[in-house]
Structure 1
Amino acid sequence: MDIPDTPAIPAEALTGLLDGRWAHVRAEARARMAERGLPDTADLTTEDYRAVVLTELRELAHSGYPRIGFPPEHGGGGDPGGALTAFEMLGFGDLSVMVKAGVQWGLFGGAIEALGTQRHHDRYLRPLMDLEVAGCFAMTETGHGSDVQSLRTTATFDGDGFVVRTPDDSARKDYIGNAARDGRLAVVFAQLVVGDVSHGVHALVVPIRDEDGNPMPGVRIEDCGPKAGLNGVDNGRIWFDDVRVPRDALLDRYGRVDADGTYHSPIEGDGKRFFTMLGTLIRGRISVAGAAGSAAKKALAIAVRYGDTRRQFPHPDSGDEVVVLDYLAQQRKLLPALATTYALHFAQEELVSTLHDLPEDADRRELESRAAGLKAIGTWHTTRTVQVCREACGGAGYLMENQLPRLKADTDVFTTFEGDNTVLLQLVAKGLLTGYRQYIGERGMGRVIADQFVATVIERTAARSVIERLVNAVTPRDEETDLLDRGWHLKVFEDREKHVLDTLARRLRRAADPDADAFEVFNSAQDHVLRAARVHVDRIVLEAFVAALDRNPSPLLNRVCDLYVLANLEADLDWFLGHGRFTTARAKAVTGAVNALCRALRPHARTLVDAFAIPDALITAPIAHGDRQGTQSGATMTGSRSGEESRKAVAR
């Protein structure tokens, strides 16, 4: 396949397209982070590293960073979309700082804002924004990590207040950020027991340390110890031995207990109440997806810059050594990952805007599903991308000074915190199947019905006339369609989703048979469940990219979108061939098109990563700076703060 030359575009112009609605927030974050640079933490002990991270958090608080998303009546900016974007930008910096900020202002502060009422807001929001009080988000337990509804910590009403108790070691709160060192308060999720009745999981604010930093009576805290990464975050374990808290410690937006022990809730049913409460905490998953995207961008910036200058093996004609990014194998490693990163960026931007604009009382189930799916797909993508970038840089990519090992270690846990990715995809599939079942009702199980249902899902999530126009313009015969036809791309992704969902529903229908083992039916179809969720998210991502292109036409971004689509199809060729969607010739053409697109985008690779506009002060890898590759210390190269300065921060 011959790809016409793509006109060049300045990186700054692409940056403007990427920055989108919250460009001012991104600009402010870049300026702040460029001025401050990165702390040199390579030779610090874990304790000193944690002290440096706390100092960085204080600087963030002083800068006003945490105020963006909190309510104006408490000194905030009332801009949830801006807050999510600002957090995403922290992903370009030290990821321990990013995670600790997420714990303090996203999880701890976000839970108090979302689950508490006015008295909680008045008491806690300003101090936690200013970091006068550091807090934890104590949800996860050793024995029930993903199954939050089955948590075993209890909060029992005793007439005066609540008694918080850890019944055994499997119910200890585990992996809790801010717990091992700095936290003074914790939002603790526990089964609320009043009389002999459990009302399901609720959240309470529980003091865990006194003003001198000592554990409160009945509270036992243990350090989780060294981790594979993020060792600037003080993760800990917490046990509660009949810890008494007053009645107003209960965050009671969705459930309150009167002084006489009467329980009230605006939501009937423990299950519905539980999922409503969790739905208010959706920002955590959106935040992780955004920050993961920033880490992937940083890894790609390092690897592409290195590949654009590193030479290896002489050209047979000229004798000059060849720049490694000119090799198709290197392009194949980096450019499809770069295209997917762009696609996920636009999907993330759309998700943030949707959350920002959604009325507070709106049904959030669809948004929660999309957030869960993008978090899973996005963090898996980051894990793969960082590894690919590490390999693409050879031995240099294994050196700590070149940042990729730290990125690899620090981002690995993204796939399992804020929801294990496999569980999150099952939640996505469950939502699709629930909607499918409700839609079908008495209509039967025909394929036409399945097509109609998925069409309603597509309309709800996309609702863009441009997509319908592109799909309707596609020739009925796929084999005759140009592989770069955008309407064909949309049609293929849509058709794949329809088929997978329809066949999954048919498989699971057997669970309703009188003699069926419902669990076994579901368990045996888990591969199919996960595929249904994955292809659903793939379509959402593509449609977000297409919508972005409709708003901001760009020949270069159109080529990037082509590569995203065809690399996705190539990775799934076994499905398309196995289900008769592609002929062998068509499948071979897809692979040829991926190669051709890689060659076409090669001249623009540096522009595409420069468009992320990551401040040089945050890319300290010598290999990312061409003529300065001989420098032995990233800190001497780009203004990163020295180890001595970091130690001074520890002393402060």
Structure 2
Amino acid sequence: MTHTLDAADSGILRDVLDGRWADVRREARELAKDPRFTVEVGQDTEEQRARTFERLAALAEGGYARLGFPTRYGGANDVGGSITAFEMQGMGDLSLLVKAGVQWGLFGGAILHLGTERHHEKYLADIVSLDLLGCFAMTETGHGSDVANVRTTATFDPDTDEFVVTTPSTSARKEYIGNAARDGRVAVVFAQLVTGGELHGVHAFVVPIRDADGNPAPNVRIEDCGLKAGLNGVDNGRLYFDDVRIPRDNLLNRYADVAADGSYTTPIENKTARFFTMLGTLVQGRISVAGGAGSATKVALAIALRYGNSRKQFENPATGDEITVLDYLGHQRKLLPALAKTYALHFAQLELVAGLDETTPDLDLPVAEQHPAEHPDRRELETRAAGVKAIGTWHATATIQACREACGGAGYLAENRLPGLKADTDVFTTFEGDNTVLLQLVAKELLTGYSEHFGNLDLRGTALFVADQVVETVIERAGGRRLLQRLRDAAPSRSDEGSVFDHDWQISMFTHREKHMLESLAMRLRRAMDADDQFAVFNAAQDHLLGAARAHVDGVLLAAFVHAIEQVPAGPERDLLVSLCDLYALSTIEAERGWFAEHGMLTANRSKAVIAAVNELCGAIRPQALTLVDAFGVPDSAIAAPIAWPEDVPEAGGINP
């Protein structure tokens, strides 16, 4: 089946992509015109750090940080807007993105969401204004993803009414801590709380690390992590605490408190539930990282597709003219399926941001009235955030590399941004949660149906609960039949029933894969639940866990894409998005065709039809590739790559027409 697409309007597509917080995106594009934010290359580490700090101060001056904080502390009480603003910063200097995320997202967010009024009154206004720079000290050299078992301790001393914060060994030092090596004055430190000789698990404490003159605080040792593969504008450091004493009030006590006599109280008696409630309040970080990675991916695609649309290579013997690189099918296949998945991830990101905004209590309410973990949709949101963060950051790494290769030697030049984007986003796959660990958590949550039966995440609890359950896919939970009908209404299938272009068939393939993988995983764990070595059984199923989680996230992206299409009026823009959605669905099926064939869902001829359909879609979308990337609204000052303008480079600060 051959089809053509009428020319779409990038402005209309941009309105769709900008979504609910379009005004925040427009303000970010205006801010990008400020020469202080022009992307630069070639600076040494100290120059990068100084420049990043200057830009951070400029953001504070412009009110960037206000959005995510209560109005009484100079904020704007707009959680969704704050994440959207962060996402837009991902199109520019990524060191600035990360440093801003540390200051206002992690450090400020921890005090906002884990502290109470006494901490808010003392710190928040200064955090928003940048009068107080801070760190988020969770990761340790010996314990990264395993936060529950960090070794740093905070032992209460009732004689002095203080906590004593201690780094018991080198492996317990706080590692890779942003803002620690140069600028941070205070850290939120995650440590094991000990009082009366009893261990109560991980809690968060406010610990000064520098005095007013910038010198290390007493009994605090600070080391510079030094040169990194990327993000060298961020001053990552290591922190050691040699029996550092802090007031009892420095415990961030929203979910637990210690009285002057050392007695411990908490509204959440179950230690595991309390731990995950505390971490759940920080889900904003994972959603933010996914958004930032998506923005960097969009910049890379904008550069590579603009270059590919102008670069010529080899002569066409039929015409004697040189062939435009983007006219080669191989080049299209490098970039256009990635572009389709980038759109799918963007629409999933819009839903995550809206979901977080809706499930986060009004920040202007008293702390006692804020209970985000009690919202019925909160746990599912956290699961989706973990999955989209993992798949989105891996997609960024793969796509930026593909863009670099698509630009040949020019893509290897620092001035063309791609090497910097590649280096700076590489770590996104392991911070705010290692991606492999996050996908395991996604699979475990899916198996339990978000049930409290699985509170301790052990194998036996999983197997007992899922033994008699019927697995429901994300597409079914999104209202599978209604979703399919809406897709039919918005974009009727272009071919007969059963064609690879038929939406019923595409959705059935996604649904069957997720359901089969989860059901077979549940049965596999059930059969092994009485094994002597529970870890060995679980470890042997790890590949199955990861595959099930990937299948789930694939469905999340498809559902989000369909929801977005539904909101677009009939016309060329909707038609283009439908073709892009088809490309996402079919390229995903193509990538998994081995699994589908093994499970009897894809014959050899059908597999070939999927490959041919991907080729056809690439050809149909190719004439509008620039329209699709222009719709991202990446400021020219953020593209900042000479190869993106082969004829002449416009003045910095504009927006692609």
The alpha-carbon deviation at position 638 of structure 1 amounts to 3.8
The match for 1:603 is 623
Contact 2:340 2:580 survives alignment (8 Å): yes
1:67 aligns with 2:96: no
Shift of 1:432: 1.1
* CA shift in 2, pair 1:58/1:470, >3 Å: closer
For the residues of structure 1 that align with 2:337 and 2:347, how far apart are their CA atoms? 16
2 CA distance for matches of 1:602 and 1:298?
18
Offset, 1:44: 2.2
The aligned amino acid for 1:519 is F
CA contact (8 A) 2:38 2:638 kept: no
Matches for 1:266-285 after TM superposition, within 5 Å:
266-285=267-286
* 2:511 aligned residue: 494
In structure 2, C-alpha distance between the alignment counterparts of 1:170 and 1:365, rounded to whole Å: 32
> 1:505 matched to which residue of 2?
522
- Which residue does 2:312 correspond to in 1? 311
Identical-residue share of aligned pairs (%): 61
Q: 2:379 maps to what in 1?
A: 365
How far, CA to CA, are the matches of 1:28 and 1:512 in structure 2? 54
Cα distance between partner residues in 1 of 2:533 and 2:509: 35
Query: What SS is found at the alignment partner of 2:410?
Result: helix
Q: What SS class does the counterpart of residue 627 from structure 1 fall into?
A: coil
Describe the SS at the equivalent of 2:54.
helix
Query: Over residues 4-50 of structure 1, what are the superposed CA-to-partner deviations in whole Å (9 max), with x where a residue is unaligned?
Result: 21111111111011001000000000001123364454332211210
Deviations 1:512-532 (A, max 9, x none): 22x442111111111100000
* More divergent stretch after superposition (352-361 vs 284-293): 352-361
| Cα separation, 1, equivalents of 2:567 and 2:506 | 18
The aligned counterpart of 2:606 is 586
Contact 2:488–2:503 (Cα < 8 Å) also in 1:
no
Residue deviations 1:423-473 (CA, integer Å, cap 9, x gap):
000000110122288699999957xx53xx315x5454x247631536999
8 Å Cα contact 1:40/1:640 also seen in 2: no
SS in structure 1 of the partner of residue 385 of structure 2: helix
Quick one: structure 1 residues 352 and 444, their matched pair in 2 at CA, closer, same or farther if it must change by over 3 Å? closer
The answer as to 2:630 corresponding to 1:618 is no
Question: For the residues of structure 1 that align with 2:464 and 2:591, how far apart are their CA atoms?
Answer: 37
Cα separation, 2, equivalents of 1:443 and 1:420? 27
Show CA shifts across 1:483-538 (max 9, x none).
1222322221111100000111111113322x442111111111100000000011
Contact 2:415 2:642 in 1 (8 A): yes
**Contact 1:38–1:640 (CA under 8 A) maintained in structure 2:** no
1:556 aligns with 2:576: yes
Look up the SS of the partner of 1:454 in the other structure: coil
Offset at residue 626 of structure 1 (A): 2.4
| Conservation of the 8 A alpha-carbon contact between 2:39 and 2:638 | no
1:111 — aligned with what?
110
Partner of 1:646: none
Residue 162 of structure 1: SS of its match in structure 2?
strand
CA shift at 1:269, angstroms? 1.7
Among 539, 544, 567, which residue is 1:528 paired with? 544
Report SS of the residue matched to 1:203: strand
Q: Given residue 53 of structure 1, which amino acid in structure 2 is its aligned partner?
A: T
- Map of 1:138-217 to 2, 5 A cutoff? 138-159=137-158, 160-217=161-218
- Counterpart of 1:626 in 2: which secondary structure? coil
Instruction: Specify the SS of the correspondent of 1:34.
Output: coil
Q: Secondary structure of 1:253's partner?
A: coil
Contact 1:34 1:618 in 2 (8 A): no
Mapped partners of 2:502, 2:488: distance in 1: 12
Give distance in 2, aligned partners of 1:286 and 1:324: 35
- The answer as to whether partners of 1:185 and 1:206 remain within 8 angstroms in 2 is yes
Q: Distance in 2 between matches of 1:512 and 1:39?
A: 57
Q: Is the 8 A contact 1:464 1:547 kept in 2?
A: no
- 3-state SS, counterpart of residue 122 of structure 2: helix
Question: Of residues 485, 495, 498 in structure 2, which corresponds to 1:481?
Answer: 498
Once residues 534 and 23 of structure 1 are traced to their aligned partners in structure 2, the CA distance between those partners, rounded to angstroms, is 30
Superposed CA offset, 1:34-71 (max 9, x none):
23364454332211210100000000000000001111
Post-superposition CA distance 1:608-638 (Å, at most 9, x none): 011111111111111001213xx7xxxxx64
Give the Cα–Cα distance (whole angstroms) in 2 for the partners of residues 58 and 78 of structure 1: 21
Q: Distance in 1 between matches of 2:466 and 2:57?
A: 60
Gap change, CA 1:441 and 1:190, over 3 Å in 2:
closer
Q: Is the 2:636–2:653 Cα contact (8 Å) retained in structure 1?
A: no
The equivalences for 1:15-94 within 5 A come to 15-36=14-35, 38-39=37-38, 41-94=40-93
CA contact (8 A) 1:37 1:618 kept: no
Q: 1:479 to 1:428 in 2, by over 3 A?
A: farther
Secondary structure in structure 2 of the residue aligned to 1:182: coil
Residue 425 (structure 2) pairs with residue 411 (structure 1): yes
Amino acid at match of 1:233: V
Q: Secondary structure at the match of 2:350?
A: helix
- Take 1:263 and 1:30, find their aligned partners in 2: how far apart are those partners? 49
Equivalent residues in 2 for 1:253-264 (5 A)?
Answer: 253-264=254-265
**Aligned pair 1:300/2:317, yes or no?**
no
Q: How does 1:320-469 map to 2 (within 5 A)?
A: 320-358=321-359, 359=361, 360=372, 361-363=374-376, 364-435=378-449, 445=467, 449-450=469-470, 453-454=471-472, 458-460=475-477, 462-463=478-479, 466-469=482-485
Q: Aligned residue for 1:644?
A: none
The answer to whether the 8 A contact 1:471-1:490 is kept is no
Distance 2:463 2:68 in 1: 41
Match of 1:648 in 2: none
Q: Distance in 2 between matches of 1:506 and 1:516?
A: 18
Is 1:154–1:193's contact at 8 Å kept on the other side of the alignment? yes
Task: Tell me the distance in 2 between the aligned counterparts of 1:443 and 1:267.
Answer: 23
Following superposition, the deviation at residue 121 of structure 1 comes to 0.5
C-alpha contact (below 8 Å) 1:402/1:623 kept by paired residues: yes
**SS of corresponding position for 1:341:** helix
Mapped partners of 2:385, 2:268: distance in 1: 23
Alignment partners' CA distance in 2, 1:213 and 1:570? 56
2:463 and 2:525 in contact (8 A); partners too: no
Q: Aligned AA for 2:628? A: L
**What's the secondary structure of 2:646's corresponding residue?**
helix
Two-structure CA RMSD over aligned residues (Å): 2.2
Q: Distance in 2 between matches of 1:529 and 1:508?
A: 10
| Structure 2 contact 311–324 (Cα < 8 Å) conserved | yes
Q: For the structure 1 residues 511 and 138, does the alpha-carbon distance in structure 2 shift closer, same or farther, using more than 3 Å as the test? A: same
Find the residue that maps to 2:536 and give its secondary structure.
helix
- Of 427-436 and 167-176, the range deviating more from structure 2: 427-436
* Cα distance in 1 between the residues matched to 2:137 and 2:440: 24
Is 1:639–2:646 an aligned residue pair?
Answer: no
Aligned-partner SS, 1:73: helix
Q: Equivalents in 2 of 1:612, 1:620: separation in Å?
A: 15
Give the partner amino acid of 1:497: E
The aligned counterpart of 1:239 is: 240
1:388 and 1:40 mapped to 2: Cα distance?
22
The answer (yes or no) to whether the contact 1:37–1:617 under 8 Å persists in 2 is: no
TM-score, normalised to structure 2, is 0.92
Asked whether the equivalents of residues 510 and 516 of structure 1 are also in contact (C-alpha less than 8 Å), the reply is no
Q: Is the CA contact 2:487–2:566 (under 8 Å) kept in the aligned structure 1?
A: no
Figure out how many residues of one structure are paired with residues of the other and give that number: 624
Counterpart of 2:547, as a letter, is R
**What is the CA–CA distance in structure 2 between the aligned matches of 1:197 and 1:504, rounded to whole Å?**
38
Unaligned runs of 5+ in 1: 632-636, 642-652
